[in-house]
Amino acid sequence: MPLIGDAVGWASGSAIPAWRWGLDGLAVAGAVAGVAWTMRTMKQRVRAIRRDMLTLSMGDLRQPIVSDADDALGSLQRELAMLQAALTDIIRAVRHASNEVVHSAIEVTHGARDVAARAESSAAALEESSAALEQTSSTSAHTADLVAQAADLAQTNAGSAARGGEIVERVVQTMRRLEESSARIRDITGVIDGIAFQTNILALNAAVEAARAGEAGRGFAVVAGEVRQLAQRSSQAAREIKDLIERTVQDVAAGVEVVQGVGGVMQDIVASAQRTRELMDEVANAAREQQLGVKQIGEAVQELDRNTQQNAALAEETATASAAQRDAALRMAALVDEFRLAGSQSQYPSAVQGLDVDGIIDAHRQWKVKLRDAIENRASVDTDTLRRDDCCALGKWIYGEGRQRFGSQPRFAELVERHKHFHQVAAGVGERINRHEWRQAEDAIAPGTPFSQATRGVVQVLSAVKRIGFD
């Protein structure tokens, strides 16, 4: 205000002392210096706030934000500090929950795969059992038919044995009649022998009387001799018939005994045939019941086979769904792994021995930091080195120990491709920086850009590797 007053007085023609002009000059210089200092301080504080905001945007929550003043910028820093604290709590809770979800999803996936494998094995075994049971049912039906035929044959044999028994019984009766007839013939032969003996005595007496009569009884003597010879021949024939009849009677008696024995055997055969027929009827009934039971079991097994096939398909669908859930949980965990928290360590130690996954994820985050610093400092980037995917720590591990140990694993091939793609995209951003396209380069590393997606693709594979390895 004094400077303005002196300038107005000078303009109106008033004389202004020199010392007043000196004081006015000192005031102007002080004001300019104060404004310059204030602007420099404000610029530094704004750059510090911007750096804090960039750090937050890159997911690095390890360095706490501290407010150093009570003015508007200090209030903004306090709000950023509270935002950082709230984001840290949220990320920590989400990380804990995501780790639990991933762990549960992995267990569910393993369980679903085991269930699917066992269901498939059970379905195959049950299918084989169903085929074997169907064959058994066919065999049982064939056996039942054979048993029925055998039962019919046994019944026929029983009838034949019964008829044979009747025939043998008639033979026994006939042999008994023959025995009786032989006895009667023997008696008649005895009578004939007795008559021949008496006739021989009479002829002998007649011959004696004829000799006494002399010439008168010579003709009677010739007749008596003839009668005697006839009686002797009759006696001889009777003896022969008697001997023959005796042998015949003996043979008939033996035959009667044999036939009686055959009759007993035939009775036993008839009884056995009858019992066999009864047993075969029981076996035939049991075979029919068995066939019916096997048929019912076959129907039940077929129904069980259909249900098992459906269960196997459902188990396969469950395994697929659980695998998809596991992959979704791994992607969610990978999003959380992009953030770095102060004093936090992963609950999942690396499943790949010798590979610090968290360190590699942080190293890839530093590429974004380096590109951001190059934009801020208007510096150039070594794009030739950045484009190569074998110069960073992950690239050296990939083309060294990693390829030797996991070169045949599909997830390892996916990591190689995504890592190579990331370096190509990052080199593209570096080329924009080298062309001094600062705004375009800054927009190129913003969220949702190809650079961000390429970074996230690498982190997703690494996050999955950390939890389940390259299997």
Task: Identify the CATH number of the domain in which residue 364 sits.
Answer: 1.20.120.30
Residue 85 located in a structural domain = no
Among residues 261, 294, 326, the one where a domain terminates is 326
pLDDT of residue 315: 78
Examine residue 142 and state whether it is found in any structural domain, yes or no.
yes
Is pLDDT above 70 for 19?
no
* pLDDT (0 to 100) of residue 428: 94
Higher pLDDT, 427 or 53: 427
Give the pLDDT score at 273: 72
Asked whether 438 and 375 are in contact (CB, 8 A), the reply is: yes
pLDDT digits (tens, 9 = 90+) for 336-356: 776 777 765 555 567 777 777
152, 297: one domain: yes
Inside any domain, residue 92 = no
User: How does pLDDT run across 227-269, given as a tens digit for each residue?
Assistant: 767 777 777 777 777 777 777 777 777 776 776 777 677 777 7
Tell me the pLDDT band of 23, cut-offs 50, 70 and 90: low
Question: Tell me, what's the pLDDT at 290?
Answer: 77
- pLDDT of 134: 74
Q: Retrieve residue 430's tokens.
A: 């570096």
Pair 266, 373 in one domain: no
Inter-helix orientation angle 357-377/450-468, to 10°: 160
Mean pLDDT, all residues of the chain:
77
Q: Are residues 308 and 364 in the same domain?
A: no
Cβ atoms within 10 A of the Cβ of 470, count? 21
Contact between 264 and 191 (Cβ < 8 Å): no
The pLDDT-based confidence of 424 (bands split at 50, 70, 90) is very high
The CATH number of whichever domain residue 241 belongs to comes to 1.10.287.950
The answer to whether position 54 is within a domain reads no
C-alpha distances out from residue 465 to 344, 386, 459, 461, Å: 19, 24, 10, 6
Over residues 283-339, the pLDDT tens digits come to 778 777 877 877 788 778 778 778 877 887 887 888 788 778 777 877 777 777 767
Residue 95 to residue 361: CA distance in whole angstroms: 15
| 97 Cα distance to chain centroid | 32
CA distance 295 to 297: 5
Q: How many residues does the chain have?
A: 471
- Going by pLDDT thresholds of 50, 70 and 90, the confidence category of residue 436 is very high
Angstrom distance (rounded) from CA 236 to CA 228:
12
Indicate if 271 and 355 belong to the same structural domain. no
Distance, CA of 312 to CA of 315 (rounded, Å)? 5
Task: Kindly state whether residues 370 and 412 are assigned to the same domain.
Answer: yes
Which tens digit of pLDDT belongs to each residue from 183-206?
Answer: 777 777 777 777 777 777 777 777
**Has residue 420 got a pLDDT over 90?**
yes
DSSP code for 65: P
What is the rounded CA–CA span in Å between residue 230 and residue 215? 23
268 and 364 co-located in one domain: no
Residue 18, domain extent = 2-45
Cα–Cα distances (Å) from 295 to 131, 133, 139, 172, 292, in that order, read 12, 9, 11, 53, 5
Nearest to 154 by CA among 288, 276, 285, 270: 276
The band of 8, judged by pLDDT with boundaries at 50, 70 and 90, is low
Are 428 and 461 within one domain? yes
Q: Does 80 reside within a domain?
A: no
Within-domain flag for 470 = yes
Cα 125 from Cα 152, distance rounded (Å): 40
The DSSP annotation for 145-192 comes to HHHHHHHHHHHHHHHHHHHHHHHHHHHHHHHHHHHHHHHHHHHHHHHH
Together in a domain, 269 and 380: no
Q: What does the alpha-carbon distance between residue 404 and residue 415 come to, in Å, rounded to a whole number?
A: 15
Residue 50 domain flag: no
Same domain, 363 and 216: no
Does the pLDDT value for residue 459 go beyond 70?
yes
Each residue's pLDDT tens digit, 79-108: 888 887 887 888 778 777 777 777 787 788
Report in angstroms the alpha-carbon separations of 180 from 168, 248, 254: 18, 12, 14
Higher pLDDT, 247 or 402: 402
Reported as a pLDDT band with limits 50, 70 and 90, residue 419 is very high
Question: Is 32 in the same domain as 164?
Answer: no
Q: Which of 291, 326, 361 is the last residue of a domain?
A: 326
Which pair of tokens denotes residue 333? 């965990």
Is there a single domain that holds both residue 317 and residue 428? no
pLDDT for 379 equals 92
Cα-to-chain-centroid distance, residue 289: 34
Q: What is the mean pLDDT of residues 378-403?
A: 90
375 and 314 within one domain: no
Q: Which of 104-108, 397-401, 461-465 has the lowest mean pLDDT?
A: 104-108
pLDDT value at residue 388: 92
Q: How many domains does the chain have?
A: 3
2: pLDDT strictly greater than 80: no
- Whether the pTM exceeds 0.75: the reply is no
Alpha-carbon Rg for the chain in angstroms = 65
Q: Is the pLDDT of residue 21 over 60?
A: no
109 vs 456, residue with greater confidence: 456
Q: Residue 6 domain-assigned?
A: yes
